[in-house]
Structure 1
Amino acid sequence: MGDVAVVIPTLRRLDSLERALRSVFAQAETLERVSAVVVADNDPDGSAGPLVARLAAEAPAPLIYAPAPRPGVATARNAGLAATQAPLIAFLDDDEAASPRWLAALLEAQVQTGADVVFGPIRGRVPENTGWTADYLEAFFGRAGPAETGPLEEPWGCGNSLMVRATALPGPAPFDVSADQTGGEDDKLFAALSARGGRYGWAADAWVDEFAPPHRATLRYALTRAFAYGQGPSQTAAAARDCTGVARWMLIGAAQAGVWGLASLILFILRRPSRARAYDRLARGVGKVFWIKGFEPKLYGTALLNPSAASGA
């Protein structure tokens, strides 16, 4: 039996899920180490079931269908973990496609760094007719990092990652389901890991492409998510009952909002495409200030059952 399982949470994105699965099937260099590929289906209607059944016959490793009918990003990740006992867990999102050496590069980086969690780079892809925001959105949906494999000081997101189960994913349900609708389940996971002295690594060659569908490849959606990302540090400090930390992040956010608000206004008047990045930083700053419940955007879980709601339209 192999020592790594690939977990793919999914919710009603069958075409992109098939693309993600086939990219995992193409990991020829490391398939002997793959104990299972797990599809955690977050659709109450079980829409991924027939696809998984169809692809199971051609899968080069056991393909497991794990129903997670209560929509929520943390619930889906937990369901995927519950379907395997593999000591190493690689997460791939259903809108991502892995490069041929993706898993090999993650595994090599984990050995090299000894990290509890290893992250890889992401190339953002948006539809051709996206317009003036295309460069910003491709960077937004992507993830850049160091040119060389090595240790990281801070964690990234779960998409395109490899985790050592014993240290990074303790207990039967390590992802906090209170984040099901808003995201941020990985912020809480990594904050707890950092508090335990956990280590992070970077796999420079573990590339994946992330394909943003049209309803997500919009400035409005990206800024809503940027606002939610900005809330993360303040919310993490609040969850730890760190009042000083909350105050510090709110002050940082207020300063960011002031600086980038002015920059946004100037760039808007000049009609510069770079204004999208200024809007992004403004949104993140505002998020640090308005972090309490009631201001949390609903971007996951049931929101994804209605794409127009998820896009903020």
Structure 2
Amino acid sequence: MESTPRPAVSIVIPTHTEKRWPSIVRAVAAAKSQTYTPAEIVVVVDHNPELYRRARRDLSGVTVLENLYTQGVSGNRNTGAFHTSTSLIAFVDDDVSMGPEWLGNLIAPFSDPTVVGAGGGICPDWQTGEPRWMPEEFLWAVGGSYSGMPTTVSKIRNVWSAGMIVRRETFLAVGGFRVGFGKLGNQNRPEDTELCLRMSALGGGHWMYVPDAVIRHEVPAGRSTFGFFIRRCYAEGRGKVAMAGLLDGSESLGSERDYLRSLPRAVVRNLGAAARGKGVGHALKAGGVIAGVAAAGWGGVVETVAARRTPQRVTAEATR
């Protein structure tokens, strides 16, 4: 009996700043070290000629491209993905590292033809130590897998582009990441979630979460502060409302509603632990949950108001 041929996969690594050069080198080395050998590794530089020249000069054994679209990570990833020709395309950020079995573990679910994509577990790599106030339920704010996610291989609504893999045919059919919707400057919109929803909607496919396909995601000192946490939650609230406006309205936010319903239990659990003398850190985490929800909620309100005003401005200008 003939064995099923192994699908070919390319790895796309978007990058934008020389400040991450050591991380870029480490991410490329990790991609090269995979036991499941990728057909091609593509590094895409986002409108930074100096970094592009350095990458071309110093990164051997990889393809280096410049972003063909407007500035932003969505166009950066699309540039790399559309360049490839493999049936599967993996994406990793330029500030992650992963063990040699990462790619092989992440590819396993694709034996099911209804799987359109997969993502793995993300472990925050704290450069200055994990803050005492950081709730496990909010590790997504620093790009990590959070408490409440599946612990075994499971269907999931969406994964994160810090370490994900997509079926090329479906990715191309939906046009890839939505250019102009994503992370740029202070804007932090969930371009990966939005992509996952569009890919799932095409033909009823689904995503898989593979917790053993772990990457380590750097969390520098500047992202370990309470101020960053609040800004990130606020941006997430705005981004999710903006995403709903692009898709099917509030119907696309079902997972977010389920998540919010779980947070009161986290507050009660941490306050109870603090009352039993298990440390003030639990009380701080309870406060972190409340602050994070408040910041995200305010962001959602701001985005909702802005969205309602935009058509009015357009109409007013059109009648002049």
C-alpha contact (below 8 Å) 2:13/2:92 kept by paired residues: yes
Amino acid in structure 2 at the alignment position of 1:150: S
Which residue of 2 is the match for residue 37 of structure 1? 41
Give the match for residue 111 of structure 2. 111
Partner of 2:154: 150
- Which one has the largest radius of gyration? 2
Q: Deviations over 1:39-95 (max 9, x none)?
A: 011142341442353231xx4xxx110112743111111111132122201110111
Contact 1:231–1:287 under 8 Å retained in 2: yes
Q: C-alpha separation between the residues in 1 aligned to 2:296 and 2:77? A: 25
Q: Work out whether residues 223 and 279 of structure 1, in 8 Å CA contact, stay in contact via their aligned partners in 2.
A: yes
Please list the CA deviations of residues 236-255 of structure 1 after superposition, one character each: whole Å capped at 9, or x if unmatched.
Answer: 3322364x759x98xx79x9
Say whether 1:273 aligns with 2:258: no
Name the TM-score, length of structure 1 as normaliser: 0.75
Which of 40, 47, 52 aligns to 2:51? It is 47
Whether 1:14 and 2:21 are equivalent positions in the alignment is yes
Secondary structure of the structure 2 residue equivalent to 1:291: helix
Report the RMSD for the aligned CA atoms in angstroms: 3.5
Tell me: CA distance 1:143–1:48, structure 2 relative to 1, closer, same or farther (3 Å). Answer: farther
Per the normalisation by structure 2, the TM-score is 0.73
1:231 and 1:284 in contact (8 A); partners too: yes
Are the structure 2 counterparts of residues 157 and 85 from structure 1 closer, same or farther at C-alpha, using a change threshold of 3 Å?
A: same
2:200 aligned to 194, 215, 226, which one?
194
Partner SS, residue 118 of structure 2:
strand
Query: Judging changes above 3 Å, is the alpha-carbon distance between structure 1 residues 286 and 155 closer, same or farther for their aligned structure 2 residues?
Result: same
Count of residues paired in the alignment:
275
Aligned position for 2:99: 99
Q: CA deviation at 1:10?
A: 0.7
Identity %: 22
Q: Quick one: distance in 1 between partners of 2:210 and 2:113?
A: 9
User: How far apart, CA to CA, are the structure 2 residues paired with 1:213 and 1:94?
Assistant: 13
Give structure 2 stretches of 5+ with no counterpart: 1-5, 273-279, 308-320
User: Do the aligned residues in 1 keep the contact of 2:16 with 2:48 (CA within 8 Å)?
Assistant: no
Map of 1:214 onto structure 2: 221
Cα distance change, pair 156–2 in 1 and its aligned pair in 2 (3 A): closer
- Unaligned 5+ residue runs, structure 1? 296-313
Alignment partners' CA distance in 2, 1:138 and 1:186? 17
Q: State yes or no: 1:125 paired with 2:125.
A: yes
Q: Give yes or no for contact 2:190–2:239 (8 Å, CA) kept in 1.
A: yes
Structure 1's 281 and 294: CA in aligned 2 closer, same or farther, altered over 3 A? same
2-structure distance, mates of 1:68, 1:20: 19
CA contact (8 A) 1:109 1:202 kept: no
Q: Summarize deviations over 1:140-164 as a string: whole Å, max 9, x none.
A: 4211432222322x11222211100
Residues 246-297 of structure 1: CA deviation (Å, up to 9, x unaligned): 9x98xx79x98xx89x99xx99xx88321223222222222333224859xx
Q: Alpha-carbon deviation of 1:230? A: 2.3
**Given that residues 15 and 93 in structure 2 are in contact (C-alpha distance below 8 angstroms), is that contact kept between their aligned partners in structure 1?**
yes
Letter in 1 for 2:8: D
State the match for 1:163 in structure 2.
166
Residue 98 of structure 1 and its aligned partner are, at CA, apart by 1.2
On the 8 A contact 2:134/2:288 being kept in 1, the answer is no
Structure 2 counterpart SS, 1:119 = strand
Whole-Å separation in 1 of the counterparts to 2:92 and 2:290: 29
Alignment match, 2:316: none
- Separation in 2 of the partners of 1:245 and 1:106? 28
Q: Is contact 1:52-1:65 (8 Å) kept?
A: yes
